[in-house]
Structure 1
Amino acid sequence: MSLVVLNAGSSSLKFAVFTANGQNRQLTGHIDGVGEAMQLTLKRNGVEETQAVPAAADHGGAMAAALDILAEEIDDQVRGVGHRIVHGGTRFTDPVILTPEVEAELDALSPLAPLHQPHNLAGVQAARRAFPGAVQIGCFDTAFHRSHPWVNDTFALPLEYFDKGVRRYGFHGLSYQWLTRRLDDVSVGGRPQKVILAHLGAGASMCAVKDGRSIGSTMGFSALDGLPMATRCGQIDPGVLLHLMETEGLDAAALTELLYKESGLKGLSGLSGDMRVLEASKTQEAAQALDYFVFRCRREIGALTGVLEGLDALVFAGGVGENAQSLRKRICSGFEYLGLAIDDDANQAAHGDAARISAADSSVDVWMIPTDEEAVIADAMVELLA
């Protein structure tokens, strides 16, 4: 029997097939460029192949392509399908079996994660049709952050709004769960106590982890806050939104379109939200977008170091964090006052597996660790199905 994992992001779809014990990965797939020209990378038996996806360039087309591949590749019974669900609110703090009642509750959270939640739930429906005998299981990106102290989760609004759910939730929790576990494995001398995890991709955030528990995150009520992202604005003065409503006549729908889809690196550069495109570009606007991204990353590292009251380790992950060596170097520069320094050769060579990229005399360990949300979901499925 097999376990299937579906992980729908804002611009990508990952899928994997595990053996029933969750230990062996039989197939891995990644569809990149959702919403544009999609490309599929498939890895089976250690062999990787890449091809274009001849389907509509949207999440529905990506999901259909993934399920077609899974139907061809899986020749035994699918026991369960695990889904990354971005928003679980305050109620869903552990993996759950997805019933219609649970799905209705999760759908009500869609306005808080409009780039993710609808696609996550559409994936559940599609998987239920494709594998009618399988148990559908949801794992939540917000769950890892429920250990936050109250001061990190509240806004300075009347308390009645906090009670109504207007609070900081934090995201990328499945990635941070994996990185915390993996950092324990690779660190010499035991678990680092004070850690900043940087999940940098089309969606980007950082998380302050103390003794293995999340105590702060750059993302808040929605997946808009904190760092600038591919198409999302990151931190913004709410007064700007009031100004745009009053002077530009923007309503909630127009603001949603602007903040989620037309801002971030895409908005700043006027070119693309893809970091690879910006690094290859010669335009001043592309360079300024990269400068702003680096500046905000450095600012958040400083802030989270204050939350942690020190820093023992910094971890880069995500599509950008794992592959953009030049950005890692730029983000780490200027932190000599923390005793942080990277080794240029180690940074350039880091690829594919966990690698320590800090200099030998650095008092802060700096790592590149590939994230693996699918493994976290598979482990949760095994435990829940047992």
Structure 2
Amino acid sequence: MTTRDATAVLTLNAGSSSLKIGLFSAALEAMASGHVDRIGGEGSLTLRRADGALLALPDGVTADFSDHARSLATAIGALRALFPGLGIAAVGHRVVHGGPDHRGPIVIRGDALARLAAFEPFAPLHQPHNLAGIRAAIDAFPHAVQVACFDTAFHRGHPFVHDTFALPRALYDKGVRRYGFHGLSYDYVSGALARDWPALAGGRVIVAHLGNGASMCAMKAGRSVASTMGFSALDGLPMGTRCGQLDPGVVLYLMQQEGMDADAISDLLYRRSGLLGLSDLSNDMRRLEASDTPGAREAIDHFVFRIQREIGGLAAALRGLDGVVFCGGIGENSRMIRARVAEGMGWLGIQVDPGRNAANGPVISPDGAPVTVLTIPTDEEIVIARATAALSAQKEQVPA
């Protein structure tokens, strides 16, 4: 197949042991999605049509999930069998860390990969796998435009006081600062507000991206002014297995008194803390909500408390509040968490109507409430696809 035949856009979100894939037409209509789980182990591929219907792995496609490159090859082989004549014009990649300078997506060319690899110490559990996905896609589609879309980019306009730590300025200049993450999700929500609630979009809104990874973003006129996540994806809210905000003295204690090295501490804070560590049961909110154990109840209580506390801080950064948006797996689906968060927040104007909340919105606040509360299903893949298509079109205008 020649590059002239290539019209589709592919999106990739590579994790440490997973790969999320989105396939879009040239008109950016969703065609299919895929999810490879347990790469390097007993891997599996789930494929779905745009309407959500499951697709079987076509006959003749060898299932090999031993690494990212082979997992991608398996998924692409399946998609090509399902969509004869499929050609990929461009591939868009979620990259967690873009550093202090990238304020938007970039085309991967020249030394771009090497420059992005320099940010691996800032996101050691995410960035290497994101870049492995890019390398695998370059091998699979050598003629396609490769685009990196950064989770940090949406937050790059923060005021200095929101980005800095009270550390020596030399460390800030070296990149030790607050970056914020989940920017692709916030970008989507910002666009959805501008389209469907333009008056609210022009105001002061807190967006709560609540899932296995969780953070919150304060937006003014659709732009990020503050975020709960900071230097790493550990900061802020407790998450499925990540600790959230932590006194750095705890890390010193773990090193000096418990004899833990950096790898052991990293494993504790990223993989064994959060809802899982608090509950001693699960990182899945659905299972915690269904449980009657004290640990599950306490984990939920702490999660709700931290959300409420961060709402107060972000509202202060905004100098007021006009709207709250819930998104992410928990934010979009947990009626109980949304209701619990609203309890006791009436002083800030946050109220939730039980009937509207039970129906999952999109508007879940009562008529006339001072603060409009919404649920908006986020879609990071379409944000990546749009940016990739736009940069691909620009590249085609540039003479070789």
Structure 2 length normalisation: TM-score?
A: 0.88
Question: What are the equivalent positions in structure 2 for 1:204-223 lying under 5 Å apart?
Answer: 204-223=214-233
**Residue from 362, 374, 384 that aligns with 1:355:** 362
Question: What are the equivalent positions in structure 2 for 1:212-361 lying under 5 Å apart?
Answer: 212-350=222-360, 355-361=362-368
Does structure 1 retain, via aligned residues, the 8 Å contact 2:80–2:86?
no
Question: Amino acid of the residue matched to residue 365 of structure 1?
Answer: T
Question: Amino acid of the residue matched to residue 27 of structure 1?
Answer: A
**Residue from 3, 24, 40 that aligns with 2:9:** 3
In 2, Cα distance between equivalents of 1:360 and 1:5: 39
Q: Which residue does 1:70 correspond to in 2?
A: 79
Question: Amino acid of the residue matched to residue 227 of structure 1?
Answer: L
Q: Which residue does 2:34 correspond to in 1?
A: 29
What's the CA shift for 1:311?
0.7
Q: Which residue does 2:398 correspond to in 1?
A: none
Q: Which residue does 2:167 correspond to in 1?
A: 157
Question: What are the equivalent positions in structure 2 for 1:138-149 lying under 5 Å apart?
Answer: 138-149=148-159
Q: Which residue does 1:364 correspond to in 2?
A: 371
SS of equivalent residue, structure 2 residue 31: strand
**Residue from 90, 94, 112 that aligns with 1:102:** 112
Q: Any idea what the Cα deviations from partners look like across 1:308-365, whole Å, max 9, x if unmatched?
A: 1111110111111111111111112111112221111111111xxx711111131111
Q: Which residue does 1:17 correspond to in 2?
A: 23
In 1, Cα distance between equivalents of 2:174 and 2:201: 37
SS of equivalent residue, structure 1 residue 15: strand
SS of equivalent residue, structure 2 residue 133: helix
| Cα 1:360/1:141, change in 2 over 3 Å | same
Q: Which residue does 2:89 correspond to in 1?
A: 79
In 2, Cα distance between equivalents of 1:296 and 1:27: 37
Percent of aligned pairs with the same amino acid: 52
For structure 1, the residue ranges without an aligned partner over 5 or more in a row are none
| Cα 1:10/1:274, change in 2 over 3 Å | farther
What's the CA shift for 1:237?
0.3
SS of equivalent residue, structure 2 residue 369: coil
Question: Amino acid of the residue matched to residue 186 of structure 1?
Answer: D
Query: Does structure 1 residue 376 correspond to structure 2 residue 383?
Result: yes
What's the CA shift for 1:162?
0.6
Question: Amino acid of the residue matched to residue 29 of structure 1?
Answer: G
Question: Amino acid of the residue matched to residue 345 of structure 1?
Answer: G
In 2, Cα distance between equivalents of 1:190 and 1:11: 39
SS of equivalent residue, structure 2 residue 275: helix
Which shows bigger deviation, 62-71 or 290-299? Answer: 62-71
In 2, Cα distance between equivalents of 1:202 and 1:60: 25
| Cα 1:58/1:294, change in 2 over 3 Å | farther
Which shows bigger deviation, 130-139 or 36-45? Answer: 36-45
Question: What are the equivalent positions in structure 2 for 1:55-66 lying under 5 Å apart?
Answer: 63=72, 65-66=74-75
What's the CA shift for 1:68?
3.9
In 2, Cα distance between equivalents of 1:192 and 1:358: 19
In 1, Cα distance between equivalents of 2:43 and 2:373: 33
| Cα 1:296/1:38, change in 2 over 3 Å | farther
Structure 1 length normalisation: TM-score?
A: 0.91
Query: Does structure 1 residue 93 correspond to structure 2 residue 103?
Result: yes
Q: Any idea what the Cα deviations from partners look like across 1:201-252, whole Å, max 9, x if unmatched?
A: 1111000001111110000011110001111110000011111111011122
What's the CA shift for 1:115?
2.6
Q: Which residue does 1:183 correspond to in 2?
A: 193
What's the CA shift for 1:96?
1.1
Q: Any idea what the Cα deviations from partners look like across 1:269-296, whole Å, max 9, x if unmatched?
A: 2222122222222321122111111111
Q: Which has the larger radius of gyration?
A: 2
| Cα 1:338/1:45, change in 2 over 3 Å | closer
Which shows bigger deviation, 82-91 or 340-349? Answer: 340-349
Does structure 1 retain, via aligned residues, the 8 Å contact 2:218–2:225?
yes
In 1, Cα distance between equivalents of 2:260 and 2:330: 32
Q: Any idea what the Cα deviations from partners look like across 1:163-215, whole Å, max 9, x if unmatched?
A: 11110011011110110110122216453410001111111100000111111
Does structure 2 retain, via aligned residues, the 8 Å contact 1:192–1:313?
no
What's the CA shift for 1:12?
5.5
SS of equivalent residue, structure 1 residue 147: coil
What's the CA shift for 1:133?
2.1
Question: Amino acid of the residue matched to residue 12 of structure 2?
Answer: L
